[in-house]
């Protein structure tokens, strides 16, 4: 069943969709925000509400693009490592929009920690908290404000897949799902080095994104919103390497962008940002619920485990329980 904007029988696409977005301060997300503001490529001009840790910096970075396009872009405080901050952001979106509904949510923010285990404000392992749990919380919080067939796009990664040769080259060995409680507690498989554990946490958090998107698709088919996942490809030069050791960070910014041009599966901020903007706003994009696309707009290769129902159910119920104190709506979502 096709449930998207612009689909036959679906709601008519709005000229200026309302898009709520995370991860727009740098990298792929900032490129996507610029594409939506300027209606670059085949994106439509969107009215953006961005959640960011440093709203002033993002406002400054995007001000000229918004002014030139004559569209409104609000940037509100949001720390995805805090469920209370997510709840406050959801309230602020409501205040800004009044009765107007949201046409797309883009959950693009993500982090990669290296050797150190870090913790969210709620005491959960940080990679799991920001990359997985926060997206569940945000979508559950915003769900009552979504337009019929709104698109909900969460950025995943090929690293979730143990068969992804490109990711293996960088030391990723795929998602290692145990249980959501164990992931939130930062538990590591015995015998895993600290560096490998960091890569595993990232790959597993992206597997969690895909499990959530598929679970939403199963539960919400034909109803409310269209959950989608996105793989931007390997995009060197973004802020994702901010915690890497100095030499690796230098290579990520100064060597990899050139080398990556020759690598299959690699992209640029602009190309991957344009595709993300297109997924959020293009009227002629009519995806099935649960679709997982990559930067060249074709289906992204995925590990069959993204449809593991036991893992999805465990993740869903645990996320709902963890979100409940800050976002009571999450309890009803489950």
Ligand X SMILES: NC(=O)c1ccc[n+]([C@@H]2O[C@H](COP(=O)([O-])OP(=O)(O)OC[C@H]3O[C@@H](n4cnc5c(N)ncnc54)[C@H](OP(=O)(O)O)[C@@H]3O)[C@@H](O)[C@H]2O)c1
Contact positions toward ligand X, by CB under 6 A?
22-29, 52-54, 78-81, 108-111, 130, 155, 157, 232, 234-235, 238-240
Quick one: residue 98, left, alpha or beta (phi over 0 = left, psi -120 to 50 = alpha)? left
- Min CB(171)–ligand X separation in Å: 14
- Min CB(241)–ligand X separation in Å: 8
Tell me the three-class secondary structure of 210-274, residue by residue. HHHHHHHHHHHCCCCEEEEEEECCECCCCHHHCCCCHHHHHHHHHCHHHHHHHCCCECCHHHHHH
- Dig out the tokens for 134 from the structure: 């926060």
Helix (H) or strand (E) holding 76: strand 73-77
- Min CB(63)–ligand X separation in Å: 16
| Pick 53 or 72: Cβ nearer ligand X | 53
| Pick 124 or 147: Cβ nearer ligand X | 124
Q: Give the integer Cα–Cα distance in Å for 327 and 317.
A: 14
- Min CB(7)–ligand X separation in Å: 27
| Pick 243 or 288: Cβ nearer ligand X | 243
Q: Give the integer Cα–Cα distance in Å for 87 and 74.
A: 17
| Pick 23 or 287: Cβ nearer ligand X | 23
| Pick 3 or 272: Cβ nearer ligand X | 272
Alpha-carbon Rg for the chain in angstroms:
18
- Min CB(130)–ligand X separation in Å: 5
């Amino acid at each position: 069943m096709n449930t998207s904007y612009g689909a036959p029988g679906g709601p008519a696409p709005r000229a200026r969709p309302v898009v709520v977005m995370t991860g727009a301060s740098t990298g792929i997300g900032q490129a996507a925000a610029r594409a939506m503001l300027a209606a670059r490529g085949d994106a439509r001009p969107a009215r953006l509400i961005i959640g960011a840790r440093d709203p002033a910096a993002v406002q400054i970075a995007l001000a000229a693009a918004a002014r030139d396009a004559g569209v409104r872009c609000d940037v509100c405080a949001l720390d995805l490592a805090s469920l209370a901050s997510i709840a406050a952001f959801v309230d602020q979106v409501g205040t800004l929009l009044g009765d107007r509904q949201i046409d797309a949510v883009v959950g693009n923010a993500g982090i990669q920690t290296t050797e150190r285990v870090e913790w969210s404000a709620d005491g959960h392992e940080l990679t799991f908290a920001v990359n997985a749990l926060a997206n569940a919380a945000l979508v559950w919080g915003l769900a009552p404000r979504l337009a019929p067939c709104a698109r909900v796009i969460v950025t995943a990664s090929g690293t979730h897949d143990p068969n992804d040769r490109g990711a293996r080259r960088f030391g990723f060995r795929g998602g290692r799902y145990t249980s959501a409680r164990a992931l939130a507690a930062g538990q590591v498989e015995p015998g895993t080095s600290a560096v490998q554990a960091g890569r595993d946490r990232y790959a597993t958090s992206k597997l969690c994104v895909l499990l959530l998107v598929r679970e939403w698709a199963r539960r919400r088919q034909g109803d409310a919103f269209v959950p989608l996942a996105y793989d931007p490809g390997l995009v060197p030069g973004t802020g994702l390497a901010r915690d890497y050791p100095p030499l690796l960070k230098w290579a990520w910014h100064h060597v990899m962008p050139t080398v990556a041009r020759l690598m299959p599966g690699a992209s640029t901020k602009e190309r991957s940002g344009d595709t993300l903007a297109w997924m959020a706003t293009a009227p002629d994009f009519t995806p099935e619920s649960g679709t997982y696309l990559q930067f060249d707009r074709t289906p992204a290769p995925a590990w069959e485990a993204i449809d593991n129902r036991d893992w999805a159910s465990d993740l869903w119920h645990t996320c709902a329980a963890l979100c409940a104190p800050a976002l009571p709506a999450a309890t009803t979502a489950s």
